[in-house]
């Protein structure tokens, strides 16, 4: 594929790379995306569940959704797309993987420089005392309560209408400004502010590459679009780079 080799050549010449991933990258691990087929859960749209209002109104319903997803993610393994991104990290002096995913699969695949902008599904936070901790129970008791104060726990993720962590957002900004190439993989590019990250990087001079089987609102703004599943395109991109220590 000529386009793939053009992107490989671009990466070969780059020293600073940023990547934004979305649910599509975990789709091949069996984790359903939000807006594709299978995005509905018991007739509810994610937009109606991933909000503080939904949780206030019916915490049991929201926790049942998270418990279902935690069960799927607990069984999931990183796929070739995650593994290729982890291997890519070693090829650049500066490589930041920004992910909207809360499943932790990038770290499990070996990625180290990861910014999880929407939090982690494996962390819980007490609504009363604010205690934040890891909680890997699957299934989790519904409703889960705080071991310190008995308050209601919530998943430590970012819901609609909630602000992203300013420290992580600053890390993102810095990585985007430095990036010479930015990859957008497996995201529908409709949820802000992440949907704008590619444009911020492009404004600061980065070449923008989209990896997705389906066009998105950003496709026309991208310099290259590699159409296909991340689990195939990312390993192919890695394979098209010169192998480390491979001599000539």
Q: How far is the CB of 87 from ligand BJW (least distance, A)?
A: 17
- What is the DSSP secondary-structure string of 15-69? SEEEEEE-THHHHTTT---SSSTT--BTTB-HHHHSSHHHHHH-HHHHHHHHHHH
- What is the DSSP secondary-structure string of 79-137? -HHHHHHHHHHTTSSEEEEEE---S-HHHHHT--SEEETTEEEEEEEETTT--EEE---
**Residue span binding Zn ion (CB under 5 A) among the ranges 79-87, 98-106, 147-155, 189-197:** 147-155
DSSP-derived 3-state class of residue 174: helix
Give whichever of 128 and 162 is closer to Zn ion, judged by the CB atom: 128
- Take residue 103 and report the two structure tokens written for it: 């499943």
Give whichever of 93 and 134 is closer to ligand BJW, judged by the CB atom: 134
- Among 5, 44, 106, 118, the one annotated catalytic: 118
Q: How far is the CB of 61 from ligand BJW (least distance, A)?
A: 13
Cβ neighbours around 105 below 10 Å, total = 23
Q: How far apart are the first and last CA of the chain?
A: 23
What mask, x for binding Zn ion by CB under 5 A, covers residues 118 to 137?
--------x-xx-x------
Q: Which of 192, 205, 217, 242 binds ligand BJW (CB under 6 A)?
A: 192
Q: Is residue 118 among the annotated active site residues? A: yes
Residue listed under structure tokens 């050549």:
9
Instruction: Establish if 190 lies at the interface with ligand BJW (CB under 6 A).
Output: yes
Instruction: Establish if 142 lies at the interface with Zn ion (CB under 5 A).
Output: no
235: exposed, middle or buried (Cβ count in 10 Å: 0-12, 13-18, 19+): middle
Residues 108-137 interacting with ligand BJW (rule: CB under 6 A): 118
**Residue span binding ligand BJW (CB under 6 A) among the ranges 22-30, 104-112, 166-174, 199-207:** 22-30
Active site (catalytic) residues: 118
Q: Report the interface residues with ligand BJW, using CB under 6 A.
A: 22-24, 27-28, 33-36, 46, 50, 100, 102, 118, 157-163, 186-188, 190-193, 212-214, 216, 229-231
């Amino acid at each position: 594929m000529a386009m793939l080799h053009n992107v490989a050549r671009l990466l070969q010449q780059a020293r600073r790379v940023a990547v934004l991933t979305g649910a599509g990258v975990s789709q091949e691990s069996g984790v359903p995306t939000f807006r594709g087929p299978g995005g509905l859960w018991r007739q509810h749209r994610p937009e109606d569940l991933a909000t503080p209002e939904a949780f206030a109104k019916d915490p049991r319903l929201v926790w049942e959704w998270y418990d279902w997803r935690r069960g799927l993610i607990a069984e999931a393994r990183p796929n070739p797309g995650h593994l290729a991104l982890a291997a890519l990290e070693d090829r650049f002096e500066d490589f930041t993987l920004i992910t909207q995913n809360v499943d932790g699969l990038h770290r499990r695949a070996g990625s180290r420089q990861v910014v999880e902008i929407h939090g982690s599904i494996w962390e819980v936070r007490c609504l009363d005392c604010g205690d934040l901790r890891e909680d890997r129970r699957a299934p989790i008791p519904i409703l889960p309560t705080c071991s310190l104060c008995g308050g209601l726990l919530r998943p430590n993720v970012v819901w609609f209408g909630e602000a992203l962590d300013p420290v992580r957002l600053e890390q993102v900004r810095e990585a985007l400004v430095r990036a010479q190439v930015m990859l957008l993989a497996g995201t529908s590019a409709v949820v802000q502010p992440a949907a704008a990250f590619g444009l911020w990087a492009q404004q600061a001079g980065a070449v923008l590459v989209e990896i997705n089987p389906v066009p998105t609102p950003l496709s026309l703004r991208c310099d290259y679009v590699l159409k296909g599943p991340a689990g195939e395109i990312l390993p192919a991109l890695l394979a098209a780079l010169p192998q480390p220590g491979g001599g000539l």
